[in-house]
């Protein structure tokens, strides 16, 4: 959602962005807009209407796993500057929370 939504809700489920490297490579600008602008829009909506927000993410952002399937104890095979490092939205969420938003 790269445009603000003017709706009334009490819960928001932010389901991240496309989870396929094919989509990242095909349209990286749209992926970044979805991550950053979409997250900011959802945070703004949540703040405006007093809604709770649930942010999900795909395991793709943590790199190619060395273990299949992954359980909760697996920390990942992270490449913070690689193709899948779209974790900016997670940082935005933490920052807004710390600022009381």
The residue segments making up the domain with residue 33 are: 11-96
Q: Would you say residue 101 lies in a domain?
A: no
What are the beta bridge partners of residue 53? 12
Q: Would you say residue 23 lies in a domain?
A: yes
DSSP string, the chain: --S------SEEEE--S---HHHHHH-HHHHHHHHHHHHHHHHHHHHHHT-EEEE---GGGG-S-SSSS--TT------TTSTT---HHHHHHHHHHHTT-
Task: Tell whether pTM > 0.75.
Answer: no
pLDDT digits (tens, 9 = 90+) for 87-100: 556 666 666 676 66
The CATH number that applies at residue 42 is 3.40.50.720
Q: Would you say residue 1 lies in a domain?
A: no
Q: Would you say residue 6 lies in a domain?
A: no
Q: Would you say residue 71 lies in a domain?
A: yes
Q: Would you say residue 74 lies in a domain?
A: yes
- The number of folded domains in the chain is 1
pLDDT digits (tens, 9 = 90+) for 11-45: 999 886 666 667 667 777 777 777 788 888 998 99
């Amino acid at each position: 959602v790269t445009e603000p939504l003017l709706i009334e809700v009490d819960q928001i489920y932010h389901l991240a962005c496309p989870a396929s490297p094919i989509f990242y490579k095909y349209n990286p600008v749209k992926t970044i807009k979805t991550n950053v602008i979409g997250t900011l829009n959802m945070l703004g909506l949540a703040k405006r209407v007093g809604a709770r927000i649930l942010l999900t993410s795909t395991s793709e952002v943590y790199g190619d796993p060395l273990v299949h399937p992954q359980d909760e104890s697996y920390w990942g095979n992270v490449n913070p500057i690689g193709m899948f490092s779209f974790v900016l939205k997670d940082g935005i969420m933490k920052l807004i929370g710390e600022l009381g938003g």
